[in-house]
Structure 1
């Protein structure tokens, strides 16, 4: 069928040497600095997932798990290995941002300014230093932005297939990709020059390709009672209920700091007549923000939408006034510098605690419970985990061989279990289990239970206290900077009866629900 008028002239895809250098510098910075405080609570979960590869998990789609497996296969038991893929995709995101600036008509200065703003923006410094799905989300959304812009410029139909392929992979990385995909479709519907393409076989071929790639995860969800819905419900009850829509909007600026002047310029540019070819990306931004406000999303859920806008703003200012471009970048960087120590571990944790106390920015130390704390939550979640394994070893050493052979080592949640499975092998510890989240699928039915070692967090397990005759506090996490400070390792001995039915019942309940 006939489609729109001829598209604007596209620029050939060329990688500027200095842009490559900038992307490499970003990669090395994140790789070498991000692990100084240790691994994050969530990283222990994803490292555990690498030993249980599947087409889905209760918490996330499946793509991160094989990357965690590759990291361990290539680098062994190495913190730098854990940080490799977040750092790599951070560098690739910088590269794509520069390419978007080039696609929007920006020269070398615009490409480097956009790439640098993304490289040092606070939210990306944090995300691209952690083995979490967020770094993949930012990369894929930026890739979608580049592909959409290339398509708007060239109307090359095969780009719609590449976009479908990328969306399929993005959905396997993080479900919030659906927000941006929906926003892009709505934006294209409102763009007269692009709307006819939504009826072509190329567009629907891309839709079909994305669906086929995502289908195995949908099948997994359907055969496991749709745990993603339980996960979303739990988030709404425990975390998202503390999200303020006003704070969500206000924190978009400090979240991006170095890039904020540029993405604001990008929004303006996309709403002008000269920026009409780039308007789908701007409209998509407003749709994403609206969708996240309606769903009470956390502020960082919107982080992935900014790199394309930062690139548009850099290209716009580059054409208007080179001094304005570098003035905007300099302003953003100057605003960013004070918060860098809270996002990259360039200070000792003791120095950081003193430093953030002096900052006027509350968002850095506001945790998901809605309260202020001494350290950023992510930093506190990197401490104390190495203390569990020696305490469990101390508990096991109290058991005679026969009792030890039938002892279950259990973590209150995926953090404790994952940390024990990361630090435990060096001490000869057995594998630890938990019924928290996806871990419920991995806990085997025991043939007998003679003792139970419980790495606790929060309230004590009352059902276990009733099931055993004795309970002993083996020790507590001592790190003053740990979110899990004071958590106990408990040793339960002398069961009051056969505990196999009790354990089997709890496993079944956990597999069918979401703890």
Structure 2
């Protein structure tokens, strides 16, 4: 059922802006990138082998990941002694949670973070239960993969300190010589660390920018509210709250270390004031215990309770379209948008998620760029390049512009900074941007605005209009440009 929902959503989707950057990384395999670890580039490389710009193809690995997540949440429940009813409740909760719908739909590190968090927690559960070397090494492997998928895996690692707090698990770690596992983790992550060092730790620059523009403005109460709504209020009430009761009351030798592990991850992440979606992987480790609460504590004595619980959760399925485009865009505008309505001065609709309308947006953008490109004299077209101010714009040109015979795009934004051309700049550059004022005038003697593309669905004023410029007579070469943008890659 979950895969069916994802495929329906694909049929209604364009590409979300960040996906276009992630797809581009597959053409530039490396041990690191400006914003994220390297694993997603490997997935992008494989998807790019199909030579397609289809949403279905570029969501191949997210769909595989979402299926594996479902499987290993179920396997975790089985390891904890759960049976069919607990598995049913847990998996149903994941399906009806809007937050998991979207976060597991898009080609972003988020879904792979959830995948390796769930796989790691499954092996953690097995280790706490059996205290065996095999589970510990599998745990080590998935922690490494988690760190190569998204840096928030460090919060999972922080939770592993719980194993040292209990005599039973602490003695097992010492017996298994766990310092060898730590060395292996460090050695396997060393290439990315070296890459970060060689590039002046851009990830720290990104985090600083993120705190300046977003995280410092988010209140923890607001973030908690968004999290509880995102995972579905009914799931929060019926599953998440009972999970903590179950963790504290049942099978203490196994549940206590797991509970403290989860708690430590939550505390460290809360201390760093993470966005609500940073907590999604942790929620996936809590849901099994809420399902076990109902199966082992309530349903053992009152089997009939499964029917009202299932009915309530079924009612919660009405929130699925709030997280993924299972409705067509027109139906979304009439049925869902009124509940998410937001006023943007100059806009017609303020659509929360851009994948709802980007099919139309990027098609129009490519057509307008093609008109500008074809208007240039032949000698200028032969050497012209496109500068995408935002990495999403550059990524869109490189993925979708092939159909229009457009030249390749470059950008100094995010990871595109690493792939910028070298040497002399061509005399003519077509620049594509959102609202940037006279930004390009600093780099060219002649800058002419030739097209304005209106987007009535933008969620913010900056993206209401895209602007296309013809820029001539560059004031510097590409090497100088790279130096100028060295500390500006996240602007």
Q: What TM-score do the two structures reach when normalised by structure 2?
A: 0.90
Of residues 33, 44, 61 in structure 2, which corresponds to 1:68?
Answer: 44
> For the residues of structure 2 that align with 1:450 and 1:465, how far apart are their CA atoms?
15
Does the 8 A contact of 2:114 with 2:281 survive in 1?
yes
Q: Is the counterpart of residue 181 in structure 1 residue 162 in structure 2?
A: no
Residue-pair matches, total? 477
Is the alpha carbon distance of 1:31 and 1:55 closer, same or farther for their aligned partners in structure 2, counting shifts above 3 Å? farther
Does the 8 A contact of 1:33 with 1:344 survive in 2?
yes
Of residues 477, 483, 487 in structure 1, which corresponds to 2:466?
Answer: 487
In the other structure, the counterpart of 1:41 is 17
> For the residues of structure 2 that align with 1:82 and 1:365, how far apart are their CA atoms?
30
In the other structure, the counterpart of 1:13 is none
Is the alpha carbon distance of 1:220 and 1:334 closer, same or farther for their aligned partners in structure 2, counting shifts above 3 Å? same
2:49 aligns to what SS in structure 1? helix
1:193 aligns to what SS in structure 2? helix
Is the alpha carbon distance of 1:75 and 1:506 closer, same or farther for their aligned partners in structure 2, counting shifts above 3 Å? closer
> For the residues of structure 1 that align with 2:311 and 2:438, how far apart are their CA atoms?
53
1:298 Cα deviation (Å)?
0.3
Task: State which drifts further: 381-390 or 432-441.
Answer: 381-390
In the other structure, the counterpart of 1:102 is 78
Q: Structure 2: state its 5+ residue gaps.
A: none
In the other structure, the counterpart of 1:332 is 313
Does the 8 A contact of 2:143 with 2:153 survive in 1?
yes
Is the alpha carbon distance of 1:153 and 1:505 closer, same or farther for their aligned partners in structure 2, counting shifts above 3 Å? same
Question: What are the superposed Cα offsets for residues 378-411 of structure 1, whole Å, 9 maximum, x if unpaired?
Answer: 5467462332211111111111122222323111
1:61 aligns to what SS in structure 2? coil
1:309 Cα deviation (Å)?
1.6
Of residues 155, 158, 161 in structure 1, which corresponds to 2:131?
Answer: 155
> For the residues of structure 2 that align with 1:408 and 1:290, how far apart are their CA atoms?
48
Question: What are the superposed Cα offsets for residues 166-216 of structure 1, whole Å, 9 maximum, x if unpaired?
Answer: 11111000000001110222x223333212234344422222222222111
In the other structure, the counterpart of 2:254 is 277
Q: Is the counterpart of residue 133 in structure 1 residue 109 in structure 2?
A: yes
Does the 8 A contact of 1:314 with 1:325 survive in 2?
no
In the other structure, the counterpart of 2:61 is 85
1:500 aligns to what SS in structure 2? coil
Q: Is the counterpart of residue 50 in structure 1 residue 29 in structure 2?
A: no
Is the alpha carbon distance of 1:365 and 1:221 closer, same or farther for their aligned partners in structure 2, counting shifts above 3 Å? farther
Is the alpha carbon distance of 1:134 and 1:248 closer, same or farther for their aligned partners in structure 2, counting shifts above 3 Å? same
Is the alpha carbon distance of 1:250 and 1:466 closer, same or farther for their aligned partners in structure 2, counting shifts above 3 Å? closer
Of residues 213, 218, 222 in structure 2, which corresponds to 1:243?
Answer: 218
Question: What are the superposed Cα offsets for residues 457-487 of structure 1, whole Å, 9 maximum, x if unpaired?
Answer: 1223434267233513223144545763311
Q: Is the counterpart of residue 298 in structure 1 residue 275 in structure 2?
A: yes
Question: What are the superposed Cα offsets for residues 142-173 of structure 1, whole Å, 9 maximum, x if unpaired?
Answer: 11111111111111122111111111111000
Q: Relative CO higher for 1 or 2, CA cutoff 8 Å, sep ≥ 6?
A: 2
> For the residues of structure 1 that align with 2:305 and 2:60, how far apart are their CA atoms?
36
In the other structure, the counterpart of 2:97 is 121
Does the 8 A contact of 1:448 with 1:499 survive in 2?
no
> What does 1:100-499 correspond to in 2, within 5 Å?
100-185=76-161, 187-257=162-232, 259-260=235-236, 261-320=238-297, 321=299, 322-325=303-306, 327-335=308-316, 337-359=317-339, 374-379=350-355, 382=358, 384-464=361-441, 467-480=444-457, 484-493=463-472, 495=473, 499=475
Question: What are the superposed Cα offsets for residues 237-273 of structure 1, whole Å, 9 maximum, x if unpaired?
Answer: 1121221111122233222126422232222111115
Does the 8 A contact of 1:45 with 1:418 survive in 2?
yes
1:340 aligns to what SS in structure 2? helix
Q: What TM-score do the two structures reach when normalised by structure 1?
A: 0.86
Q: Structure 1: state its 5+ residue gaps.
A: 1-24, 368-372
Q: Is the counterpart of residue 509 in structure 1 residue 490 in structure 2?
A: no
